[in-house]
Chains A and B, each alone.
Chain A
Amino acid sequence: MLLNEAAEAMLRGDLGPARQWALRHQLEVGRFFAARDLVPVGQAHIMADTESLGEAGVAFLEGLAALPAHERRVRIPTITDPRGSDFAAAARLKQQDWMVALERRTVAAFEALGILLTNTCVNYQTIMPPVRGEHVAYGDTGVVIYCNSVLGARSNFEGGPSALAAGLTALTPRYGFHLDGQRRGSLLVETDWAPTALHEWGALGGVVGRLAGDYWRVPVLVGLDRVPGSDELKHFGAAMASFGSVAMFHIPGITAEAPTLADAFDGPPPALQRIGRADVERLLAAYAEGGDAVDVVVFSAPQLSLFELQHLAGLLDGRRVLVPLLAVTSPQVKPDADRLGLTARIEAAGGMLLQGMCFYQSYARELAEANGWHRLATNSAKLTNILGGYGYRPVLLSMEACVEAACTGRLT
């Protein structure tokens, strides 16, 4: 790979062992994908909950944090994905002391590295959305697919170590979605039905994701009869990324790099694949089996926007939950939810509004064991896709049906 003088200096270790590790890591990854060189990036976003890091990952971060300041601090704005704990709620969730301690050590290490602990997976809604053509190094697949597709920014899926490396070097290997050729459509899908509720948008994303089934395929969706909003595309993209490992999609006339259908492809479109409401209902039905009793209701993955919280608060007004209801938002939205009275309305019904974490990144298996949770209701298609491996039996419902389940303890 071609390296400029600054990168060569980092590789030699002239700027310390942290940047040397980062460059070596980037070269190993870049060579695997036959990257020509490294591309400068303007932001990095690190996924690093401690369930994923473990003791070994935290110790790695602490090793970097112990270096002199000029050697350890990131070179570009570098932010964090949700953490594994909302410290204020850890005891109520029955998270164990060792989990909280590991989180606190990680926070301290990140602060020493100069990383901004934004703890959000919706930074494109809350922090600073990237602009079209901007190269970034984002973790969280939902962030990447939204920013590539809706905004026209350029990022691969960057796992925690790679996003950290990008923060330290201000570079990332130029392959995949940093290149024009990878960003063109490779699958044409027509839907005969447009969702209305967020869980349906997620389910539609899941159907398209399963069809694509591959990071390197870029679905192009036609057939929608209106322009989806940011929360709808958030659920749609996050589910597509989760079910199919997809990093980019086009909706001609709506997303950034496809003003028309022709713009979405290099050359003629591939054969049309048709999907519709029946496919979405099949996906929903696959999660419906498992009994009528519900143990816990979760709104998370992605973190809720202010508008979603407003809707949830309205549904809970005058109600009282019988089973735990958890809603998760970002630390940026939470103060507004407090100020505007949304938090108080959710909590008056017995719900919990958590911030800066995400349910599946918060020791979901241990939460299930500690709280006796098995049957989980959510309106997040992404969450239903993930939690099966953690021993849950999730069911995907509308926000309205989830609230009803929380208030009755049963599916209706």
Chain B
Amino acid sequence: MTGPREFAAAAAFGERVRGQALVAADGFSARYDLDRHAGTFSRPEHKLFGRCYIGRILVLDRAKGGVATAWMLHEMRARGVMPAALVLNTVNPIMVQGAAFAGLTLMSGFAEDITVCVPDGALVELDPAALRPVLRILSA
């Protein structure tokens, strides 16, 4: 890989996280897109349909849909059916509120489309507490 391996984010919070990225140029809503019992994407039209999100760093385009995600992330965490972190080009307040309530690492706002920059399956690290929050690709 020859491109940049670090991507600065405009905003972030949460713990430093390392894990395998699950990437798609698609939106994210816990209610609209997930089977939260099976831990998979269940919306047939979603680009990650059928794939397991548990323990993965989700790298997606934008937050979408309604307000339910604000409670659902907390509920998913309690049952251990949870992604390791959320990385989005664009967030809405619900995703931020939900991640804050659930204690989930969240990062958003990149100079480039982050779903293009991060290969699906790459090992990545999120450092939200750095002076400038950053996503690092450790291996692709």
Contacts and interface: CB of A to CB of B under 8 A. Distances in A.
Interface stretch (A50-58, A253-261, A337-345): A50-58
Contacts of B91: 215
Interface in B46-93: 46, 62-72, 74-75, 77-79, 90-93
Contacts of B90: 214-216
Interface stretch (A226-234, A385-393, A401-409): A385-393
Nearest to B41: A389
A140 interface: yes
Given A156-B93, A162-B93, A176-B93, 9 more contacts: A33-B11, A52-B31, A54-B79, A139-B67, A157-B93, A158-B67, A160-B71, A161-B98, A215-B91
A229 B19 CA distance: 50
Interface residues of A, number: 48
Given A159-B71, A160-B71, A215 B44 contact: no
B65 A245 contact: yes
A365 B42 CA distance: 11
Nearest to A217: B90
Contact of B62 (A54, A158, A213): A213
Given A57-B75, A161-B71, A389 B93 contact: no
Contacts of B65: 141, 242, 245, 386
12 contacts: A25-B97, A32-B96, A32-B106, A33-B96, A54-B71, A157-B66, A161-B70, A161-B71, A216-B92, A242-B66, A244-B64, A386-B65
Contact of A25 (B32, B64, B100): B100
B94 interface: yes
B34 interface: yes
Interface string A199-226: 0000000000000011110000000000
Interface in A28-58: 28-29, 31-34, 47-49, 51-57
Contact of B74 (A57, A175, A213, A385): A57
A391 B96 contact: no
Interface string A154-184: 0011111110000000000001100000000
Contacts of A175: 93
A161 B45 CA distance: 29
A205 to B, nearest CB: 14
A40 B122 CA distance: 44
B97 A159 contact: yes
Nearest to A382: B66
Given A25-B101, A386-B32, A52 B96 contact: no
A280 interface: no
A36 to B, nearest CB: 15
B11 A47 contact: no
DSSP class of A's interface residues: helix, strand, loop or mixed?
Answer: helix
A11 interface: no
B42 to A, nearest CB: 5
A32 B11 contact: yes
A53 B75 contact: yes
Given A29-B93, A389-B32, A54 B100 contact: no
Contact of B93 (A33, A53, A214, A241): A33
A307 interface: no
A386 B31 contact: yes
Given A25-B101, A139-B67, A215-B92, A389 B43 contact: yes
A-B pairs with lowest CB-CB distance, top 9:
A159-B70, A54-B75, A56-B78, A215-B92, A389-B43, A52-B71, A161-B101, A52-B68, A162-B97
Contacts of B12: 32
A155 to B, nearest CB: 10
B115 to A, nearest CB: 14
Nearest to A175: B93
Interface in A237-273: 241-242, 244-245, 247
